[in-house]
Amino acid sequence: MRLQPGDQAPGFELPDSTDTPRTLADFGGQSVILFFYPKAFTPGCVGESCDFRDRSEPLAAAGYAVVGVSPDPVDVLARFRTEYQLDYPLLSDVDHAVAGAFGAWGTKKNYGKEYEGLIRSTVVVGPDGLVEAAWYNVRAKGHANRVLEALASADQ
């Protein structure tokens, strides 16, 4: 089920790339941009992750923390974060329970075949735990910039 603005965001605890458990509460006082991506080191995921890295300064200045979530194991996330100098947490959702709770896991179609997988999605959760915005089945290229623009126009 996809989340809508005003919905209560599901709680979670996931390990980050250092194997430290992280929750939404760890970002208290900030809005959190959770972007769900399918697989580290793939071209689309590298581009999207680096785009969020390159926009993390203006997002942080506006009160937003960026967090990446994927089904990759912790050791892969550690290498990914280091190789691409990602300056925000990456969370490991190997059983895709959190992606499912956020509406980012489901049936996908590729070249006419249907399968279950991670749906590239972004959900913004406010400091009150409510969903501020949600985008599903997004294109990786340019998505971080579209998020920044949408959040900037919403703050005006």
Ramachandran bin of 100, using left for φ above 0, alpha for ψ from -120 to 50, beta for the remaining angles: alpha
Beta-strand runs (E) in 49-130: 64-70, 90-92, 105-110, 113-118, 121-125
With DSSP H G I counted as helix, E B as strand and the rest as coil, what are the percentages for the chain, rounded to 5? Answer: 30, 30, 40
- Residue 50 among the catalytic residues: no
* Residue in 24, 45, 78, 123 annotated catalytic: 45
**Can you say whether the dihedral through the CA atoms of 116, 117, 121, 125 is positive or negative?**
positive
Residues serving a catalytic function are 45
